[in-house]
Amino acid sequence: MKTLVILISGRGSNMQALLDAKLPVDRIIVISSNPAAVGLETAANNRVQTVCINHQTFSDRSAFDTALADEIDRYQPDLIALAGFMRILTDDFVLHYHQRLMNIHPSLLPAFPGLHTHRRALRDGVKIHGCTVHFVTRELDHGPIVIQAAVPVFSDDTEESLAKRVLEQEHQIYPQAVRWFLQGRVRLSANAVTIADSRVHNSVIYSPGLQE
């Protein structure tokens, strides 16, 4: 039985993309750090099991991460996918799920780690922006890269218009990365990821190419 745990804190649009993708998984559990997260209702409407562990009820990050790990370990997941999970995880938590913890970030890493990526991309005048799926490591937004998608930056772009264009690609590549992982096609060596039998998709710039 393959199990996927999805961690959210808000509306969960990437979570919805994962649910819509009909992934090769037997069980999905959505866990939120925020009891008011809209994504909890969305998951419930999709008949997906939900759990809330309210981070505000814990004294520090370590205590919250311990409780979160205890809950996750009940399900023995093959993969934990961060989907708008707005918590910085402790080193112990990250190491506990080594090579089983994946994240989607709205920039072409290693460019623009952290917050406000679209604002910073516009400020710096980049011509190509995008998103990255990567494994989570102790260094924030610097884990091994699974797949990236690039979009053009137009002269009249606003932070909102650029974010929308990038988000459309997030919803494409995150399910693809998770699918590859669940199919056993992801190979991780040191800081390099290779995908078995990937190919180039010619309509948008993806690396590696998209393939079901």
Walking along the chain (212 residues) 10 residues at a time, the average pLDDT comes out as: 97 97 98 98 97 97 98 98 96 97 98 97 97 96 95 96 97 96 93 80 57 51
In the DSSP assignment, the letter for residue 25 is -
pLDDT in tens, 102-155: 999 999 999 999 999 999 999 999 999 999 999 999 999 999 999 999 999 999
Residue 203 has a pLDDT of 44
Domains of the chain with CATH codes: 1-97 (3.40.50.170), 105-212 (3.40.50.170)
Query: Edge-to-edge strand order for the sheet containing 3-8?
Result: 49-52, 27-32, 3-8, 79-82, 101-105, 128-135, 145-152, 205-207
Q: Which residues pair with 102 in a beta bridge?
A: 81, 135
Residue 1 has a pLDDT of 87
On whether the CB atoms of residues 113 and 100 are closer than 8 A, the answer is: no
- Whether 105 is a known active-site residue: answer yes
- d(C-alpha 188, C-alpha 210), whole Å: 18
Residue 55 has a pLDDT of 97
Considering 105, 118, 129, 134, which one is annotated as catalytic? 105
Closest CA to 53 of 20, 22, 87: 87
pTM to 2 decimal places: 0.93
